[in-house]
Chains A and B, each alone.
Chain A
Amino acid sequence: MNKAHPLLARAQRYPRRAINLNLPGCCYDTLIGAWRDVATGALAVELPGRHGPHTKKQDIETGEDQKSE
């Protein structure tokens, strides 16, 4: 049973990327529960271009829904 399962053998391999624990120009406000733009104080999500990832873990996951961590 040393041979890889075909699904694993066919899996795409990516270099694992480090998660950037900061959004540039933003800081996390624990009381508000959201990222704020440091310069304006506005919620990052309300800024044009919406700073930040659209899925968990900054879209680093290769699938849509890496839910584990």
Chain B
Amino acid sequence: MRPGALILSSRFDFTCDYVVSALRKRGIGYLRLNSEDLPDCAVTLDPVERHMSVIIGDTQFLIAPTSLRSVLFRRPVFLRDYGDDNRTAQERFARIQWASFIRNLSLFDNARWYNDPTYTYKAELKAIQLYNAAQVGMLVPKTIVTNTPQYGNLAVLGDRLAVKGLDTVMIREAGDEMFGFTTFAMSSDLTDPAWASAPTIVQEAISCKTDVRVTVVDERVFAVKILVAGEGVDDDWRTHKGAAQFIRHNLPDEISGKCVELVTTLGLRFGAIDLALSDNKYYFLEINPTGEWAWLVDAAGLPIDEAMADALSY
């Protein structure tokens, strides 16, 4: 078999099951490779001829530039250290080598990648995101990245500040998992010398906001408002995750166009963008190049699975 689409994922990435379902309905040949299944496959890659053979059971899949049209890349571009690792040396070794193998599949660069890990790596960086959002004309809250907010010129950011990690704040410790949501503070609260131990994003807080999640697949744009008890929430909506409603939302054409332009500018074909709507203005908060979307298929009826399958089939 010579699949036209390659899905790089893991078994429990159920989002890919949505895509598989939609691809099957279209009759598009695909191969889904999960990292945990790779040791059970016979995999051979010829980097010069750009040819890969994958044998699963009795079935051989051949990946070649002439037949491969698209890649859905759902693997991490880098491995975060959460602070514990009970794996054996062999398990860690294999994990690292297979992760590298997956990254090496960037070799098939004539296929359309959703997204190319090279660009994902850069687009994950929040400073890069904010700069490029401003460059394409989006409203961006005034922001500084600092480890010394007590010395920074916070006055330009306003009184109420949004404070968040420069990267995901997620640490495992003693059987627990800690997750840092965006928190809010007054500038006068940021006097603790402990801030110096790590850089932090300090941002003008957007008040009276409604969060808007925008999912971009090529030129197609899907948006929802995120409401709790029928209203927007001023703090991090994820702290109300169980009560959140996701309501389809029609973005103004100008904003929709800027979302597509941002995704393109970052070298991506897919992006999950968080906006804040306040006083009829849309503010860019961040973009996630590997953001989740499957829950929006069911919660808001957004056909993102169809859009992704269309993109991979093109």
Contact = CB atoms under 8 A, between A and B. Distances in A.
Q: Taking chain B's interface residues, is the majority helix, strand, or loop, or is none over half, making it mixed? A: mixed
Contacts of B248: none
Nearest to A14: B177
A34 B30 CA distance: 12
Given A5-B194, A58-B12, A68-B82, A32 B295 contact: no
B195 interface: yes
Given A7-B165, A34-B20, A35-B17, A19 B12 contact: yes
B153 interface: no
Interface of B: 7, 10-18, 20-21, 24, 30-32, 34, 37, 40, 56-57, 59, 74, 76, 79-80, 82, 163-165, 168-172, 175-181, 183, 190, 192-198, 200, 238-239, 288, 290-292, 294-295, 298
A54 B21 contact: no
Q: How large is the interface on A (under 10, 10 to 19, 20 to 34, 35 or more residues)?
A: 35 or more
Contacts of A24: none
Interface of A: 1, 3-16, 19, 21, 28, 30-35, 43-46, 50, 52-58, 61-69
Contacts of B198: 5, 7
Contacts of A63: 168, 170, 179, 181, 238
